[in-house]
Amino acid sequence: MKPSEILTPIKQRYGTAIQRIDRLDDRRLVLHVDAGALKSICRFLFRDLDARYIAGIGADDRPYSGRFMVAHNFAFDRDGLLASVLAMLPADAPEVDSIAGEVPAASWSEREFHDLVGIVPRNHPNPKRLVLPDGWPDRVHPLRKERPWNDRPDGYDEDRPFAFDPAPPGCVVVPLGPFHPTLDEPAHFRLYVDGEIVRGCEYRGFMVHRGIEKLAESVLTYNDIPMAAERICGICGCVHNVAYAQAVEQAASIPVPPRAEYIRTIMLEIERLHSHLLWVGLAGHILGYDTLFMHCFRIREPVMWIAEKISGNRKTYALCLIGGVRWDITPELHDELDQVLNRLEAQWRPLVSALLEDRNLRRRAAGIGVADRALIKEQGLIGPVARAAGIDIDCRRDHPYAAYDRVDFDVILAQDPDVWGRISVRAREVFESIRIIRQCLVKLPAGLLQAPIADELPIGRIGMSSVEAPRGESHHWLITGENHRPRRWRVRAPTYQNLQGIPAMIRDQRLADMTITLGSIDPCFSCTDRLETVDVRTGAVRVCPPEELRDRLRQRWNEPTTP
Amino acid sequence: MLQNLCQKMFRRSLWVYHANSGGCNGCDIEVLNVLTPYYDVERFGIKLVASPRHADVMLCQGPAMRSTAQALRRAYEAMPSPKLVFAVGSCAGGGGLWYDTYSVLGPVETVIPVHYYIPGCPPRPEAILYGVALALGLVDKQVAATRIGHAAFPVPRYHPEDLRPEGGLAIYQRQEKI
Ligand code: SF4
């Protein structure tokens, strides 16, 4: 379907509520609509046209247009189209109808712009604080343009507790976190447990919110931001780096030289290799299969070395500048990378066949953390979580970027919407990555690494870009601005959507399955988490040592069947 | 001095607790890497433990954040004395790129005392091993401390557009920023 074919029904239905339609290129649309019609248009896109929800954005546009701005982004995966539905709100009453009732996947995005920009989503089903620290004063919104990036507002109260929902009757509260000693950011889950069974949970995370978007809007410049972007996440950093650069390039219509596109593809796939190997190892570790963990890390290490040879760092490759890349693949690196891939493939193949035929592992992981098609649609789940359920989405193919349209690869699917399916998808995707890198090495064209950019970048243009990270789609949206920096830059990492599916995925499962369910979406996790049990009736706190949790988890190996 | 003390107090296996107070987990995966076959930190008797109550050493990653400061302080207090704290990575050591943003308090030393710094973003596994071995007196220090002098005139770290040339000097003109 062409953009025009999608637009026709929208135009017919909403007519004058659509003020303007910008076609950024053949695969990007921006619909400027009346704020009053926003909710209904979003519902129409999500329900009737079956678009996938990506992210919601709030921006303070007062210095430029005198108004606030909200946008909701949707993807038409089959048609390779990204669309942003944008509405302006008056400066004195920044309120908009919440769409979270119609599009549940938008819930966090709306809570986020409420916190950061102070745009109120009217009638939001769960209008709680999401991003800012608990003690942050209520009326201070850091992404408003009058607040400085190094804001130290009055009225900060470190001791203010977060208002958690009351536990359902008869349930015990089990807090999980905030420290995850083996991986990833601190995060806090509050599980409502009835005996062994988890009945629900509430998430209080965003403890790693470092204000990167604000830094980008007020301190850094276009070419500094890629380096900040890759520090959003230490595991899939290169994805953010590339996604940001592509969003700017698209906004400013900067053509990227083909050699740079191929090198971007190679580095993204190297990153996917290391991330998948890391994750499969960790999943094994959580399930008590430490042999797998050690093997994965052994096999993975040469990938880190070659990344270091190419970019000078094992992680945080500092790859992109606007319009190109900084590192070249020299002929020596070319050969070495080839050898690394050969060895990797030779070692990974027997491990995967052992893994996928391991009946114990299968019994342990099957039926755990189920995310069915309905949940995936409602919450906008992506990446291996969706592909494990047989949903055929992959940004590399659906919204091609870099050199992905010039290489040949399969999108790996499974028909088990559970932890087992995710393990199987990610273990097999490693081979596709190897295939992609090999093709890129063969096809790598000669030429420039960096497009010459003589002029200032244009101001006020919108760019968006989706990049398939190892865990799912990372989406970047930005408006270019003055002083060599974007006015607004919004990043939506894959875990942002996938975490929203967790409450449904763990409901009515055993407490011992919590860590692997959480782990299976790869927010990273830990079996060595600090776990406190609070008896709701007496208020007594018992610290449950992580070993106990792990032992409980491992005991489940020995149980005959899963009830 | 500290090194001698360390040698005396931590003669046997070190148990390490690992706290990420808000980093990007680049440092985490390198710490994890130290445990695995290529680097195998257990040959020095170093072991990762799950609870601060079992730990001799805390490895901190990421800057001190507003939202985790309290938890970090509690974890530190839960460790039995004598205890050592390592700041791993540039975030933990100096606050990183975001050292002064609205949600970050700064380096972890603003919240708990830090004894050793391992720089890098992220530091290589070898660097982490070396840092710990240095603290234990297993290896000698290979670098000498230097003082880094400040530039003669204040160069703004950000906002180079605020510089105005005048008589061969660059004058920093602080503008009102939105
Ligand atoms: S020092 Fe670098 S790698 Fe480590 S947490 Fe900070 S940004 Fe991430």
User: What is the per-residue pLDDT across A159-186, written as a single tens digit (0 to 9) for each?
Assistant: 777 777 777 777 777 777 666 443 345 6
Confidence of residue A533 (pLDDT cuts 50, 70, 90): very low
Q: What separation in angstroms does the CA of A144 have from each of A70, A440, B92?
A: 13, 43, 28
How far is Cα A283 from Cα A297, in angstroms, rounded to an integer? 12
CATH of the domain at B86: 3.40.50.12280
pLDDT of residue A99: 92
Residues of B in contact with A482 (CB under 8 A): none
Indicate which atom in ligand 1 lies nearest the CA of residue A231. Answer: 7
Instruction: Mark yes or no for CB contact A237/B37 under 8 Å.
Output: no
Q: What percent of chain B has pLDDT over 70?
A: 75
Do residues A311 and A330 touch, judged by C-beta distance below 8 A?
Answer: no
How far is Cα A219 from Cα B36, in angstroms, rounded to an integer? 39
pLDDT of residue B2: 63
CATH of the domain at A268: 1.10.645.10
**Integer-rounded Cα radius of gyration of chain B:** 19
How far is Cα A556 from Cα A543, in angstroms, rounded to an integer? 22
Write out the residue range of the structural domain in which residue B109 sits: 2-136
How far is Cα A117 from Cα A109, in angstroms, rounded to an integer? 11
Residue A174 within a domain = no
Instruction: Mark yes or no for CB contact A183/B28 under 8 Å.
Output: yes
Do residues A368 and A419 touch, judged by C-beta distance below 8 A?
Answer: yes
Residue A238 within a domain = yes
Q: From the list A132, A183, A210, which residue is nearest B25 (CB)?
A: A183
B176 close to A (CB below 8 A): no
Report the DSSP beta bridge partners of residue A74: A53, A83
For residue A152, pLDDT beyond 90? no
Closest residue by Cα to residue A56 from A67, A45, A65, A69? A69
* Any atom of ligand 1 within 6 Å of the Cβ of B122: yes
Q: What is the mean pLDDT of chain B?
A: 78
A138 Cα–ligand 1 center, Å: 30
Closest residue by Cα to residue B71 from B17, B111, B33? B111
For residue B151, pLDDT beyond 80? no
How far is Cα A477 from Cα A495, in angstroms, rounded to an integer? 17
Distance of residue B148 Cα from the nearest chain A Cα, in angstroms: 24
Closest residue by Cα to residue A94 from A117, A72, A115? A117
Residue A495 within a domain = yes
Residue of B nearest to A296 (CA): B36
Grouping H, G, I as helix, E, B as strand and the rest as coil, residue A80 is: coil
Greatest mean pLDDT among A395-409, A504-518, B14-28 lies in A395-409
The structural domain count of chain A equals: 1
Residue B165 within a domain = no
Residue B151 within a domain = no
Grouping H, G, I as helix, E, B as strand and the rest as coil, residue A373 is: helix
pLDDT of residue A551: 52
Instruction: Mark yes or no for CB contact B50/A546 under 8 Å.
Output: yes
Instruction: Mark yes or no for CB contact A178/B96 under 8 Å.
Output: no
Q: What phi, psi does A470 have (nearest 5°)? A: -55, -30
Model confidence pLDDT, tens digit, residues A91-124: 988 999 999 988 999 988 899 889 889 999 998 8
Q: What is the DSSP string of chain B?
A: -HHHHHHHHT-S--EEEEEESS--SHHHHHHHHHTSTTT-GGGGT-EEES-GGG-SEEEEES-EETTTHHHHHHHHHHSPSS-EEEEEHHHHHH-GGGTTSTTEEESGGGTS---EEE-SSSPPHHHHHHHHHHHHTSS---S---PPPPPSS---SS-GGGEEEETTEEEE-PPPP-
Pairing type for strands A531-534 and B64-65 reads unpaired
Model confidence pLDDT, tens digit, residues A19-62: 988 888 888 989 999 999 999 999 999 999 899 999 999 999 99
Q: What percent of chain A has pLDDT over 90?
A: 38
pLDDT of residue A185: 53
Model confidence pLDDT, tens digit, residues B49-83: 878 888 888 888 888 888 888 888 888 888 888 88
Residues of B in contact with A218 (CB under 8 A): 177-178
Do residues A84 and A32 touch, judged by C-beta distance below 8 A?
Answer: no
For residue A16, pLDDT beyond 70? yes
Model confidence pLDDT, tens digit, residues A209-220: 888 888 888 888
Task: Considering only residues A248 and B161, tell me which one the structure prediction assigns the higher pLDDT.
Answer: A248
Which two tokens mark A17?
Answer: 């509520």
Grouping H, G, I as helix, E, B as strand and the rest as coil, residue A417 is: coil
Q: From the list A134, A156, A181, which residue is nearest B18 (CB)?
A: A181
Residue B101 within a domain = yes
Residue A505 within a domain = yes
How far is Cα A281 from Cα A183, in angstroms, rounded to an integer? 13
For residue A546, pLDDT beyond 60? no
Instruction: Mark yes or no for CB contact A183/B177 under 8 Å.
Output: no
Do residues B178 and A145 touch, judged by C-beta distance below 8 A?
Answer: yes
Write out the residue range of the structural domain in which residue A254 sits: 212-529
For residue A2, pLDDT beyond 50? yes
Q: What is the mean pLDDT of chain A?
A: 84
